[in-house]
Structure 1
Amino acid sequence: MSKEYRLRAPLRDEDVVQLKAGDRVLLSGIIYTARDAAHKKIIQALEAGTELPFPLKGAVIYYVGPSPAPEGRPIGSAGPTTSYRMDSYTPRLHSLGVKATIGKGKRSQDVKDALVRHNAVYFGATGGAGALLSQRIEAAKIIAFEDLGPEAVRELVVRDFPLLVVNDAFGGELYATPNLPT
């Protein structure tokens, strides 16, 4: 039976290890956006020993390229993008302290193994609901790689951002569970 949790980012080991695949989470706090081009630049910064755009310890990374913000809103539609495009970068980021990623779709075995090794989780956000998800984003600002346009790294302040635990820190996977939560 799935449970519902209210968590605050950045996340700690204690937050992550209580979660099981299928649990619902309402996440509040600061999260960061990054897609494949930003991930590549983050890894290049790590290899060059230069400053990163945000602290990795406890970080939550949302795979999103939001649309422009309409007047009076901090962000436009902000639905998740397909996660597997970041799979080659994700295990390293988890090894450096990233506690969660948010996207849609399945993850590689390397990513699932990294979640177990580093007490981390993969959250699913509802694809096709970007306009609704954006209503849970209270503030957004570009903090790195502005040249990437919609794929620039943003710091988001979220409140009760609705998520499902797809892969947990124990090897559990929602997509492999025969009785999905309702």
Structure 2
Amino acid sequence: MAEIKLETPVTESEIRNLKAGDKIKLSGVVYTARDAAHERLIEALNQGRDLPFDMQGAALYYVGPAPAKPGEVIGSAGPTTSYRMDPFTPQLLKNGLKIMIGKGNRNQKVMDTMKEEGAVYLAATGGAAALISERIKEMKVIAYPDLGTEAVRKLRVKNLPLVCVIDSTGKNLYNR
């Protein structure tokens, strides 16, 4: 198990080199989306409309951050349970998504699509929302502001601490 520094956007070869158990320090742009935003992203794809960000090599964090206190970039930003995004995830993976960040296990269809498309699932530590928010250097709502905390945000992160829990070969730390 290695400690690996990654910068987004990532390439498929970078992703295929990651192994379950690797400790990741992620920097660059990370987008946020939860259930309601995922529905809208899929609706846009199904209708042939552009997405609010380039999915190629992107990282998507399942989070609905709390409002920022004065002088802060973002409020508490802990991961949400990922299985709620599973119905939408395969289509996003087929459109270039390479990194998903959340907590909890994923269904078999998501894991099979991860293997086909060369993607990974990284875990952010639940309960470490304050630490995570310190790693977020910039935040901007870029789509669906009517969704409030579930709006799509563009985050700029520096050394966000994550663990690869499901790699692109299907090895899954949750199923040890």
Q: TM-score, normalised by structure 2?
A: 0.98
Matches within 5 A, 1:103-118: 103-118=102-117
Determine helix, strand or coil for the equivalent of 2:93: helix
How many residue pairs get aligned? The number is 176
1:49 Cα deviation after fit = 1.3
Q: Does structure 1 residue 42 correspond to structure 2 residue 41?
A: yes
- In 1: Cα distance, 2:47 partner to 2:94 partner: 17
Q: Does structure 1 residue 97 correspond to structure 2 residue 102?
A: no
Where does structure 1 differ by over 4 angstroms across 4 or more consecutive aligned residues? none
Matches within 5 A, 1:133-152: 133-152=132-151
- In 2: Cα distance, 1:63 partner to 1:155 partner: 12
| Residue in 2 that maps onto 1:15 | 14
Matches within 5 A, 1:166-177: 166-177=165-176
Matches within 5 A, 1:26-41: 26-41=25-40
1:131 Cα deviation after fit = 1.1
- In 1: Cα distance, 2:85 partner to 2:51 partner: 17
Amino acid in the other structure paired with 1:154: R
Consecutive unaligned residues in structure 1, runs of 5 or more: 178-182
- In 1: Cα distance, 2:99 partner to 2:19 partner: 13
Amino acid in the other structure paired with 1:75: I
- In 1: Cα distance, 2:14 partner to 2:78 partner: 24
Matches within 5 A, 1:154-165: 154-165=153-164
- In 2: Cα distance, 1:51 partner to 1:111 partner: 23
CA shift digits 1:73-130 (9 cap, x unpaired): 1100000000000000001100110001000000000011011000000000000111
Consecutive unaligned residues in structure 2, runs of 5 or more: none
- In 1: Cα distance, 2:47 partner to 2:75 partner: 33
| Residue in 1 that maps onto 2:131 | 132
Determine helix, strand or coil for the equivalent of 1:38: helix
% identical equivalent positions: 53
CA RMSD of aligned residues (A): 0.6
Matches within 5 A, 1:48-127: 48-127=47-126
- In 2: Cα distance, 1:120 partner to 1:8 partner: 15
Determine helix, strand or coil for the equivalent of 1:141: strand
- In 1: Cα distance, 2:8 partner to 2:24 partner: 12
